A and B are shown apart, each in its own frame.
Chain A
Amino acid sequence: MVNGESQPLPPGGTLDEVLAAAGLAGRPVAIEVDGEVVPRSGFADRRLAGGERIEIVTFVGGG
Protein backbone atom coordinates (compact mmCIF):
# COMPACT_ATOMS: atom_id res chain seq x y z
CA MET A 1 0.00 0.00 0.00
CA VAL A 2 1.34 3.43 -0.96
CA ASN A 3 -0.47 6.47 0.41
CA GLY A 4 -3.47 4.34 1.20
CA GLU A 5 -3.75 2.91 -2.31
CA SER A 6 -2.85 -0.53 -3.52
CA GLN A 7 0.19 -0.21 -5.78
CA PRO A 8 1.94 -2.95 -7.71
CA LEU A 9 5.46 -2.90 -6.32
CA PRO A 10 8.33 -4.74 -7.97
CA PRO A 11 9.25 -7.62 -5.63
CA GLY A 12 12.47 -6.81 -3.84
CA GLY A 13 12.27 -3.30 -5.20
CA THR A 14 13.80 -0.34 -3.40
CA LEU A 15 12.21 2.90 -2.27
CA ASP A 16 14.18 4.66 -5.02
CA GLU A 17 12.41 2.44 -7.54
CA VAL A 18 9.03 3.20 -6.01
CA LEU A 19 9.75 6.91 -6.33
CA ALA A 20 10.95 6.55 -9.90
CA ALA A 21 7.81 4.62 -10.85
CA ALA A 22 5.69 7.46 -9.43
CA GLY A 23 7.68 10.12 -11.26
CA LEU A 24 9.03 11.41 -7.95
CA ALA A 25 12.75 10.70 -8.35
CA GLY A 26 14.76 13.58 -6.95
CA ARG A 27 11.69 15.39 -5.64
CA PRO A 28 11.50 16.70 -2.06
CA VAL A 29 9.69 13.86 -0.34
CA ALA A 30 9.86 12.04 2.96
CA ILE A 31 8.98 8.36 3.27
CA GLU A 32 7.58 6.33 6.11
CA VAL A 33 7.47 2.53 5.93
CA ASP A 34 5.18 0.83 8.43
CA GLY A 35 5.20 3.89 10.64
CA GLU A 36 8.97 4.47 10.66
CA VAL A 37 10.61 7.33 8.80
CA VAL A 38 13.27 6.14 6.36
CA PRO A 39 16.00 8.74 5.90
CA ARG A 40 16.65 9.85 2.33
CA SER A 41 20.09 8.24 2.50
CA GLY A 42 18.35 4.89 2.88
CA PHE A 43 16.04 5.10 -0.16
CA ALA A 44 18.45 3.23 -2.43
CA ASP A 45 19.05 0.37 -0.04
CA ARG A 46 15.67 -0.14 1.55
CA ARG A 47 14.18 -3.23 -0.14
CA LEU A 48 10.50 -4.01 0.14
CA ALA A 49 9.15 -7.47 0.89
CA GLY A 50 5.65 -6.50 -0.21
CA GLY A 51 2.70 -5.73 2.00
CA GLU A 52 4.33 -2.75 3.70
CA ARG A 53 2.35 0.40 4.32
CA ILE A 54 4.27 3.21 2.68
CA GLU A 55 3.61 6.92 3.03
CA ILE A 56 5.26 9.34 0.62
CA VAL A 57 4.75 12.94 1.69
CA THR A 58 5.87 16.41 0.76
CA PHE A 59 5.26 19.99 1.85
CA VAL A 60 2.14 21.76 0.63
CA GLY A 61 0.65 25.14 1.44
CA GLY A 62 -0.74 25.34 4.97
CA GLY A 63 -1.21 27.63 7.92
Chain B
Amino acid sequence: MEQGSIGREDLAVAAEPPLTVGGVTLASRLIVGTGKYATYAEMARCLEASGTDCVTVAVRRERLVNAAGENILDHLDASRYTLLPNTAGCYTADEAIRVARLGRELLRDMGSAAADWVKLEVLGDQKTLLPDPVGTLAATERLVADGFTVLVYTSDDPIVARRLKELGAASVMPAGSPIGSGQGILNANNLRICMEYLKDGDPSYPVIVDAGVGTASDVAAAMELGVDGVLLNTAIAQAAEPLRMAAAMRAACFAGRQAFRAGRIPRRLYATASSPDEGRVGSLR
Protein backbone atom coordinates (compact mmCIF):
# COMPACT_ATOMS: atom_id res chain seq x y z
CA MET B 1 0.00 0.00 0.00
CA GLU B 2 1.28 3.43 -0.91
CA GLN B 3 2.60 5.25 2.13
CA GLY B 4 -0.09 7.51 3.50
CA SER B 5 -2.87 6.00 1.45
CA ILE B 6 -5.93 4.58 3.10
CA GLY B 7 -7.10 1.01 2.65
CA ARG B 8 -10.49 0.00 1.35
CA GLU B 9 -11.45 -1.67 4.65
CA ASP B 10 -10.61 1.53 6.50
CA LEU B 11 -12.85 3.51 4.19
CA ALA B 12 -15.70 1.07 4.78
CA VAL B 13 -15.34 1.51 8.53
CA ALA B 14 -15.24 5.24 8.05
CA ALA B 15 -18.45 5.36 6.01
CA GLU B 16 -20.41 8.40 7.07
CA PRO B 17 -22.45 11.08 5.39
CA PRO B 18 -20.09 13.22 3.31
CA LEU B 19 -19.38 16.86 4.03
CA THR B 20 -22.07 19.13 2.63
CA VAL B 21 -21.50 22.86 2.20
CA GLY B 22 -24.22 25.08 0.79
CA GLY B 23 -26.02 22.09 -0.70
CA VAL B 24 -22.91 20.75 -2.45
CA THR B 25 -21.44 17.45 -1.33
CA LEU B 26 -17.69 16.97 -0.95
CA ALA B 27 -16.18 13.51 -0.69
CA SER B 28 -13.02 14.70 1.06
CA ARG B 29 -12.77 16.81 4.19
CA LEU B 30 -9.57 18.44 2.97
CA ILE B 31 -9.80 21.57 0.86
CA VAL B 32 -6.45 22.24 -0.74
CA GLY B 33 -5.03 25.45 -2.14
CA THR B 34 -3.32 25.61 -5.53
CA GLY B 35 -0.72 28.30 -4.79
CA LYS B 36 3.06 28.18 -4.38
CA TYR B 37 3.73 24.92 -6.22
CA ALA B 38 6.90 24.75 -8.28
CA THR B 39 4.89 23.71 -11.36
CA TYR B 40 1.27 23.09 -12.27
CA ALA B 41 2.18 19.44 -12.91
CA GLU B 42 3.42 19.08 -9.33
CA MET B 43 0.29 20.81 -8.08
CA ALA B 44 -1.90 18.35 -9.98
CA ARG B 45 -0.04 15.35 -8.53
CA CYS B 46 -0.27 16.73 -4.99
CA LEU B 47 -3.99 17.44 -5.29
CA GLU B 48 -4.54 13.86 -6.38
CA ALA B 49 -2.42 12.48 -3.51
CA SER B 50 -4.26 14.63 -0.97
CA GLY B 51 -7.56 13.01 -1.93
CA THR B 52 -9.24 16.40 -2.09
CA ASP B 53 -12.13 17.16 -4.40
CA CYS B 54 -12.30 20.89 -3.66
CA VAL B 55 -9.52 23.35 -4.40
CA THR B 56 -9.12 27.07 -3.92
CA VAL B 57 -7.99 29.39 -6.70
CA ALA B 58 -7.16 33.09 -6.77
CA VAL B 59 -8.35 35.74 -9.23
CA ARG B 60 -5.58 37.82 -10.77
CA ARG B 61 -4.94 40.08 -13.74
CA GLU B 62 -4.15 38.21 -16.92
CA ARG B 63 -0.75 38.92 -18.46
CA LEU B 64 -1.16 41.02 -21.56
CA VAL B 65 2.26 40.30 -22.97
CA ASN B 66 3.14 36.70 -23.69
CA ALA B 67 -0.32 35.84 -22.49
CA ALA B 68 -0.56 32.58 -24.38
CA GLY B 69 1.11 30.66 -21.56
CA GLU B 70 -0.31 27.92 -19.42
CA ASN B 71 -3.50 28.54 -17.50
CA ILE B 72 -4.16 26.75 -14.23
CA LEU B 73 -7.43 25.49 -15.68
CA ASP B 74 -5.39 23.47 -18.18
CA HIS B 75 -4.26 21.45 -15.14
CA LEU B 76 -7.46 21.34 -13.08
CA ASP B 77 -10.30 19.10 -14.22
CA ALA B 78 -13.35 21.12 -13.27
CA SER B 79 -15.51 17.99 -13.43
CA ARG B 80 -13.32 16.41 -10.74
CA TYR B 81 -12.60 19.36 -8.47
CA THR B 82 -15.02 21.88 -7.07
CA LEU B 83 -13.30 25.21 -7.65
CA LEU B 84 -13.51 27.65 -4.77
CA PRO B 85 -12.39 31.14 -5.87
CA ASN B 86 -10.90 33.24 -3.09
CA THR B 87 -10.66 36.96 -2.49
CA ALA B 88 -7.10 36.74 -1.25
CA GLY B 89 -5.24 40.03 -1.22
CA CYS B 90 -8.36 42.11 -0.59
CA TYR B 91 -8.26 44.57 2.29
CA THR B 92 -11.73 46.11 2.02
CA ALA B 93 -15.23 44.74 1.59
CA ASP B 94 -15.55 46.60 -1.71
CA GLU B 95 -12.41 44.99 -3.15
CA ALA B 96 -13.48 41.55 -1.98
CA ILE B 97 -16.95 41.88 -3.52
CA ARG B 98 -15.43 43.02 -6.81
CA VAL B 99 -13.08 40.04 -6.90
CA ALA B 100 -15.86 37.65 -5.86
CA ARG B 101 -17.97 38.80 -8.80
CA LEU B 102 -15.08 38.28 -11.22
CA GLY B 103 -14.52 34.82 -9.77
CA ARG B 104 -18.18 33.97 -10.21
CA GLU B 105 -17.98 35.12 -13.82
CA LEU B 106 -14.98 32.83 -14.37
CA LEU B 107 -16.95 29.90 -12.93
CA ARG B 108 -19.92 30.58 -15.16
CA ASP B 109 -20.42 28.02 -17.94
CA MET B 110 -17.98 25.61 -16.30
CA GLY B 111 -20.87 23.42 -15.17
CA SER B 112 -19.92 23.66 -11.50
CA ALA B 113 -22.51 22.71 -8.90
CA ALA B 114 -20.78 25.33 -6.77
CA ALA B 115 -20.93 28.16 -9.31
CA ASP B 116 -21.81 30.73 -6.67
CA TRP B 117 -19.14 29.79 -4.14
CA VAL B 118 -16.60 32.22 -2.80
CA LYS B 119 -13.94 31.88 -0.15
CA LEU B 120 -14.21 35.33 1.35
CA GLU B 121 -11.08 36.93 2.76
CA VAL B 122 -11.02 40.55 3.89
CA LEU B 123 -7.60 41.05 5.38
CA GLY B 124 -6.48 43.46 8.06
CA ASP B 125 -2.85 43.97 7.14
CA GLN B 126 -0.05 42.41 5.13
CA LYS B 127 2.13 41.51 8.08
CA THR B 128 -0.35 39.22 9.82
CA LEU B 129 -2.88 38.52 7.03
CA LEU B 130 -5.36 38.32 9.89
CA PRO B 131 -8.96 38.96 8.87
CA ASP B 132 -10.50 42.41 9.30
CA PRO B 133 -13.64 41.42 11.22
CA VAL B 134 -15.57 44.59 10.37
CA GLY B 135 -14.88 44.32 6.64
CA THR B 136 -15.48 40.58 6.70
CA LEU B 137 -18.91 41.00 8.30
CA ALA B 138 -19.88 43.74 5.83
CA ALA B 139 -18.72 41.75 2.79
CA THR B 140 -20.47 38.59 3.99
CA GLU B 141 -23.78 40.39 4.30
CA ARG B 142 -23.51 41.94 0.83
CA LEU B 143 -22.30 38.78 -0.90
CA VAL B 144 -25.09 36.69 0.64
CA ALA B 145 -27.59 39.31 -0.58
CA ASP B 146 -26.01 39.02 -4.05
CA GLY B 147 -26.66 35.26 -4.11
CA PHE B 148 -23.20 33.99 -3.23
CA THR B 149 -22.53 30.90 -1.15
CA VAL B 150 -20.02 32.39 1.24
CA LEU B 151 -17.32 30.29 2.90
CA VAL B 152 -15.70 32.86 5.12
CA TYR B 153 -12.17 33.04 6.47
CA THR B 154 -12.22 34.51 9.95
CA SER B 155 -10.27 34.48 13.17
CA ASP B 156 -11.01 31.96 15.90
CA ASP B 157 -13.15 34.54 17.73
CA PRO B 158 -16.41 32.76 18.61
CA ILE B 159 -18.47 35.95 18.70
CA VAL B 160 -17.42 37.02 15.20
CA ALA B 161 -17.94 33.44 14.01
CA ARG B 162 -21.50 33.47 15.32
CA ARG B 163 -22.22 36.83 13.69
CA LEU B 164 -20.95 35.53 10.34
CA LYS B 165 -23.27 32.55 10.51
CA GLU B 166 -26.18 34.81 11.44
CA LEU B 167 -25.44 36.88 8.32
CA GLY B 168 -25.86 33.77 6.19
CA ALA B 169 -22.35 32.39 5.66
CA ALA B 170 -22.59 28.81 4.34
CA SER B 171 -19.46 27.87 6.26
CA VAL B 172 -17.44 29.72 8.87
CA MET B 173 -13.74 28.98 8.50
CA PRO B 174 -11.71 30.03 11.54
CA ALA B 175 -7.94 30.21 11.23
CA GLY B 176 -5.87 27.87 13.37
CA SER B 177 -3.04 30.43 13.20
CA PRO B 178 -1.94 33.07 10.67
CA ILE B 179 -1.96 32.15 6.96
CA GLY B 180 1.19 30.35 5.92
CA SER B 181 2.66 30.52 9.42
CA GLY B 182 2.67 26.77 10.00
CA GLN B 183 1.91 27.27 13.68
CA GLY B 184 -0.99 24.82 13.74
CA ILE B 185 -3.93 25.24 16.10
CA LEU B 186 -2.96 27.97 18.56
CA ASN B 187 -6.21 28.23 20.51
CA ALA B 188 -8.08 24.95 20.58
CA ASN B 189 -10.41 26.29 23.24
CA ASN B 190 -11.61 29.11 21.01
CA LEU B 191 -12.22 26.61 18.23
CA ARG B 192 -14.21 24.46 20.66
CA ILE B 193 -16.39 27.45 21.54
CA CYS B 194 -16.77 28.32 17.83
CA MET B 195 -17.96 24.75 17.24
CA GLU B 196 -20.39 24.91 20.16
CA TYR B 197 -21.91 28.19 18.99
CA LEU B 198 -22.02 27.41 15.27
CA LYS B 199 -23.44 23.92 15.70
CA ASP B 200 -25.95 24.77 18.42
CA GLY B 201 -29.22 23.26 17.16
CA ASP B 202 -27.58 22.83 13.75
CA PRO B 203 -25.06 19.99 14.13
CA SER B 204 -24.39 19.63 10.41
CA TYR B 205 -23.36 23.29 9.99
CA PRO B 206 -19.90 23.05 8.39
CA VAL B 207 -16.97 24.52 10.32
CA ILE B 208 -13.68 24.35 8.45
CA VAL B 209 -10.28 25.27 9.87
CA ASP B 210 -8.66 27.56 7.30
CA ALA B 211 -5.00 28.46 7.59
CA GLY B 212 -2.11 27.80 9.91
CA VAL B 213 -1.47 24.13 9.21
CA GLY B 214 2.25 23.29 9.27
CA THR B 215 2.28 19.53 9.25
CA ALA B 216 0.07 16.46 9.36
CA SER B 217 -0.48 16.43 13.12
CA ASP B 218 -2.04 19.91 12.88
CA VAL B 219 -4.70 18.51 10.55
CA ALA B 220 -5.30 15.53 12.83
CA ALA B 221 -5.54 17.83 15.87
CA ALA B 222 -8.08 20.05 14.12
CA MET B 223 -10.17 17.12 12.98
CA GLU B 224 -10.06 15.59 16.48
CA LEU B 225 -11.74 18.75 17.76
CA GLY B 226 -14.69 17.83 15.56
CA VAL B 227 -14.34 20.40 12.81
CA ASP B 228 -15.84 19.31 9.52
CA GLY B 229 -12.81 19.97 7.37
CA VAL B 230 -9.45 21.64 7.01
CA LEU B 231 -8.27 24.02 4.28
CA LEU B 232 -4.53 24.19 3.68
CA ASN B 233 -2.05 25.12 1.00
CA THR B 234 1.45 26.13 2.06
CA ALA B 235 2.06 23.11 4.28
CA ILE B 236 1.91 20.88 1.20
CA ALA B 237 3.22 23.22 -1.49
CA GLN B 238 6.30 24.33 0.44
CA ALA B 239 7.17 21.01 2.10
CA ALA B 240 10.54 19.56 1.11
CA GLU B 241 8.61 16.76 -0.61
CA PRO B 242 5.17 18.13 -1.43
CA LEU B 243 3.80 14.88 -2.83
CA ARG B 244 4.69 12.93 0.31
CA MET B 245 3.21 15.67 2.49
CA ALA B 246 0.00 15.62 0.45
CA ALA B 247 -0.36 11.90 1.21
CA ALA B 248 0.41 12.59 4.88
CA MET B 249 -2.30 15.25 5.03
CA ARG B 250 -4.83 12.84 3.57
CA ALA B 251 -3.96 10.20 6.17
CA ALA B 252 -3.99 12.78 8.99
CA CYS B 253 -7.41 14.05 7.99
CA PHE B 254 -8.73 10.50 7.95
CA ALA B 255 -7.09 9.66 11.29
CA GLY B 256 -8.29 12.82 13.00
CA ARG B 257 -11.85 12.42 11.78
CA GLN B 258 -12.05 8.79 12.87
CA ALA B 259 -10.51 9.59 16.25
CA PHE B 260 -13.11 12.31 16.77
CA ARG B 261 -15.94 9.95 15.88
CA ALA B 262 -14.47 7.15 17.98
CA GLY B 263 -14.34 9.36 21.07
CA ARG B 264 -11.06 9.76 22.89
CA ILE B 265 -10.54 8.67 26.49
CA PRO B 266 -10.52 11.39 29.12
CA ARG B 267 -7.19 12.80 30.25
CA ARG B 268 -6.28 11.67 33.77
CA LEU B 269 -3.56 12.92 36.08
CA TYR B 270 -2.53 9.45 37.27
CA ALA B 271 -1.86 6.17 35.55
CA THR B 272 -4.37 3.38 35.00
CA ALA B 273 -2.83 -0.03 34.29
CA SER B 274 -3.73 -1.75 31.04
CA SER B 275 -2.85 -5.21 32.37
CA PRO B 276 -4.99 -6.91 35.05
CA ASP B 277 -4.03 -6.51 38.69
CA GLU B 278 -5.26 -10.03 39.44
CA GLY B 279 -2.89 -13.00 39.00
CA ARG B 280 0.35 -11.06 39.08
CA VAL B 281 3.39 -13.40 39.55
CA GLY B 282 4.58 -11.50 42.63
CA SER B 283 1.27 -12.27 44.36
CA LEU B 284 2.03 -16.07 44.42
CA ARG B 285 4.45 -15.67 47.35
A→B interface (CB under 8 Å): 2-5, 7, 22-24, 27-32, 35, 37, 39-40, 55-63
Among A22, A37, A59, A62, point to the contact of B71 (Cβ < 8 A).
A59
Beyond A40-B109, A58-B71, A59-B85, 4 additional pairs, beta carbon < 8 A? A56-B62, A60-B57, A63-B36, A63-B56
On whether the beta carbons of B62 and A57 are closer than 8 Å, the reply is: yes
With a cutoff of 8 Å between Cβ atoms, the chain A residues found around residue B98 in the complex are 32, 35
On whether the beta carbons of A57 and B34 are closer than 8 Å, the reply is: no
On whether the beta carbons of B33 and A63 are closer than 8 Å, the reply is: yes
Main secondary structure of the interface of B (DSSP, over half): mixed
B105 at the interface (CB under 8 A from A): yes
With a cutoff of 8 Å between Cβ atoms, the chain B residues found around residue A29 in the complex are 62, 106
CA A39 – CA B56 in complex, angstroms?
A: 22
The 5 closest A-B pairs by CB, nearest first: A62-B58, A63-B33, A63-B233, A30-B105, A61-B34
- Among A31, A60, A62, the one with the most B-chain Cβ atoms within 10 Å of its Cβ is A62
- Chain A: which residue is nearest B58 at the CB level? A62
Interface of chain B residues 42 through 71 with chain A (CB within 8 A): 43, 56-62, 64, 66-68, 71
On whether the beta carbons of A57 and B72 are closer than 8 Å, the reply is: no
B101 at the interface (CB under 8 A from A): yes
Among A3, A23, A56, point to the contact of B68 (Cβ < 8 A).
A23
Interface of chain B residues 71 through 91 with chain A (CB within 8 A): 71-73, 83, 85-86, 88
On whether the beta carbons of A63 and B106 are closer than 8 Å, the reply is: no
Across the A-B interface, how many residue pairs have beta carbons closer than 8 Å?
A: 114
With a cutoff of 8 Å between Cβ atoms, the chain A residues found around residue B60 in the complex are 57-60, 62
With a cutoff of 8 Å between Cβ atoms, the chain B residues found around residue A37 in the complex are 101-102, 105
B37 at the interface (CB under 8 A from A): yes
Among B35, B58, B62, point to the contact of A27 (Cβ < 8 A).
B62
On whether the beta carbons of B64 and A22 are closer than 8 Å, the reply is: yes
Q: List 18 A-B contacts (CB under 8 A).
A: A5-B64, A22-B64, A24-B68, A30-B105, A32-B98, A32-B101, A35-B98, A39-B105, A55-B102, A58-B62, A59-B57, A59-B58, A59-B71, A60-B72, A61-B72, A62-B56, A63-B58, A63-B88
- Among B101, B106, B109, the one with the most A-chain Cβ atoms within 10 Å of its Cβ is B106
CA A37 – CA B98 in complex, angstroms?
A: 9
On whether the beta carbons of A62 and B109 are closer than 8 Å, the reply is: no
